[in-house]
């Protein structure tokens, strides 16, 4: 096959635009997802967020990193009915941004139901090593309730399953 035949077949391929492939303006208009630089004043804590955000040594490290490099991994948020955005993941990044003197933070904005947002919030935080047992218990309970609301039936659908998925043994523990 000659190069002429190759160039003719290549001309038949329709390439999508960058925005179409990677979720640009067309995806934003359809409500799929947006990455924005959100004003910190418009970012609100997730309702009943079970994890503490402390101004400790780790926060000092986070703050210094944000001062030097900015927020490297965007948070995840969803639009709020009253305006602004509810943080699903990124509460510590928001606090570090505040302490670093920033006024904005990158966030991925997605439309999640309450149950979806709860599950993502728990899953994105539960692996941290400095979580208190009481925080884990509350988080697992929130995730368990959200899974029940969604009707997820992946077997027993018990609190033990929720804990096992996160590498925890919840048997015999008074989480509920």
SS (H, E, C) the chain: CCHHHHHHHHCCCCCCCHHHHHCCHHHHHCCCCEEEEEEHHHEECCCCCCCCCCCCHHHHHHHHHHHHHCCCCCEEEEECCCCCEEEEECHHHHHHHHHCCCCEEEEEECCCCHHHHHHHHHHHHCCCCCCCHHHHHHHHHHHHHHHHHHCCCCCCCCHHHHHHHCCCCCCCCCCC
Same domain, 73 and 153: no
| pLDDT over 50 at 27, yes or no | no
Confidence band for 25, pLDDT divided at 50, 70 and 90: very low
Interatomic CA distance for residues 100 and 62, integer angstroms: 9
Check residue 160 and give its pLDDT. 59
Check residue 129 and give its pLDDT. 66
Section 94-117 average pLDDT: 95
Same domain, 25 and 103: yes
Is residue 140 within 8 Å of residue 175, measured between CB atoms? yes
Q: Looking at per-residue confidence, does 137 or 81 come out higher? A: 81
Does this model's pTM top 0.75?
Answer: no
Answer yes or no: is 7 within a domain.
Answer: no
Check residue 118 and give its pLDDT. 87
Residue holding tokens 């989480």?
Answer: 175
Same domain, 154 and 99: no
Q: Looking at per-residue confidence, does 139 or 66 come out higher? A: 66
| pLDDT over 50 at 17, yes or no | no
Which structural domain, as residue segments, surrounds residue 78? 17-111
Section 129-150 average pLDDT: 73
| pLDDT over 50 at 67, yes or no | yes
Q: Looking at per-residue confidence, does 136 or 98 come out higher? A: 98
Same domain, 103 and 144: no
Check residue 121 and give its pLDDT. 84
Same domain, 153 and 164: yes
Task: Give me the chain's average pLDDT, please.
Answer: 76
Q: How many domains does the chain have?
A: 2
pLDDT in tens, 69-89: 999 999 999 999 999 999 999
């Amino acid at each position: 096959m000659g190069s002429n035949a190759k160039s003719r077949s290549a001309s038949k391929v329709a390439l999508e635009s960058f925005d179409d492939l990677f979720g640009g303006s067309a995806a934003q208009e359809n409500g799929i997802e947006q990455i924005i630089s959100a004003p910190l004043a418009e970012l609100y804590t997730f309702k009943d967020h079970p994890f503490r955000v402390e101004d400790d040594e780790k926060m000092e490290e986070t703050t210094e990193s944000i001062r030097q490099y900015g927020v490297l991994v965007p948070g995840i948020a969803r639009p709020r009915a009253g305006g602004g955005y509810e943080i699903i993941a990124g509460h510590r990044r928001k606090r570090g941004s505040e302490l670093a003197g920033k006024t904005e933070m990158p966030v991925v904005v997605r439309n999640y139901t309450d149950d979806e947002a709860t599950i993502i919030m728990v899953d994105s935080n539960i692996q941290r090593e400095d979580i208190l047992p009481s925080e884990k218990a509350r988080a697992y309970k929130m995730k368990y309730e959200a899974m029940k609301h969604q009707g997820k039936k992946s077997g027993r659908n018990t609190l033990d399953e929720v804990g096992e998925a996160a590498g925890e043994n919840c048997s015999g523990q008074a989480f509920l």
